[in-house]
Amino acid sequence: MRKLRISLYLFLIVSAFGVSYYHIFERMTFSDAIFMIAITLSTVGYGEVQPLSPTGRMVTVFIILFGITITGYTGGTFIRMLIEGELGKRFGRKKVEKKILKLKDHYIICGYGRIGKLLTKELRKHNQKFLVIEFDSSQIADLEATGTPYMLLDARDENTLLKAGIMRAKGLVTAVMSDADNVFITLTARMLHPDIFILARASEPKNETKLKSAGATKVVSPYLLGGQRMAQLLVSPTVVDFIDIATMDDKFGLRMEEAMIRGGSPYEGKTLVESNLRKDYGVIIVLIKKSSGEMKFNPSPHEVLEGNDVLVMLGKIADLQKINAII
């Protein structure tokens, strides 16, 4: 596109020069000067509009040579763009940008490194809407290949977050390599949207406190989690296998998910045994997070379900989807 713009600018400059010369020095009317430059650049061979001076003929030769070269280069560039699909990509990008403007209840992922790629893979698997903000142009090929909606901008800029729809987003994940940048992005996001859920990555565990002070709702240190997981695999491998099956692996058709009891839910005000969740759907209620934040693990059958309680359930994926729809 840059080459095409340059060639078009040169074409306009030559045209403007020719019209001005014929009008001023050859005493042509403005319309005759435009017609003269048109037949000269197009080489249709109509002849001179009016007799030219020797200097005028030399200028015309220059316009023909230079103009034809520019015209050929412009046409070749345009054809090459059509062949290589560059125009299609550009128009396709415009469509994506329009979709981005309509996004709502989505997640904004800042950074498309190793963590960002894993995040998009999991969100896509769970049919969640998301948008990636990446500043490194070398990631474009991967983003385009996977059909990932993205913006090639700096996530530290508040205008970028506004363009990404932070005011309509469900949550934001900042997973860039620099902890300092993660702190800055967290501060900016919290300033723009005080109630948004912010998940921040900490490369160094010592920076977790800084990220929380900046406004992060949750902070994750991949290296710390990796070390803990490796230790658990050594000490309790079966427990880790079960957690993987329940949270990440769908090959057994099982999943651990959460669902909030909204106002007006048919389960509101009932005890667990009265809800018949286990009987009707075969799910296991692992815990209940009360609206006060209290966690009740392995809750009693007589535990009363209240509005805004969050149920963590283990069961078949299809059954969990049905329960979510009802709750």
Does 87 score more than 80 pLDDT? no
Q: Return the exposure string of 140-156: e unless at least 16 CB atoms fall within 10 Å of the residue's CB, then b.
A: eeebeeeebbbbeeebb
Once rounded to an integer, what is the mean pLDDT over residues 93-108? 82
CA 45 to chain centroid: 53
Please report the sign of the dihedral spanned by the C-alpha atoms of residue 158, residue 162, residue 165, residue 169: positive
pLDDT confidence bin for 89, thresholds 50/70/90? low
Question: Please, are residues 39 and 14 in contact by the beta-carbon 8 Å criterion?
Answer: no
What integer pLDDT is reported at residue 123 of this predicted model? 92
Q: Take residue 103 and report the two structure tokens written for it.
A: 């996004």
What pLDDT is attached to residue 144? 84
Poorest-pLDDT segment among 3-17, 86-100, 220-234, 272-286:
86-100
Q: How do residues 191-229 score in pLDDT, each as one tens digit?
A: 999 999 999 999 888 899 999 999 999 999 888 888 888
What is the overall mean pLDDT for the chain?
A: 85
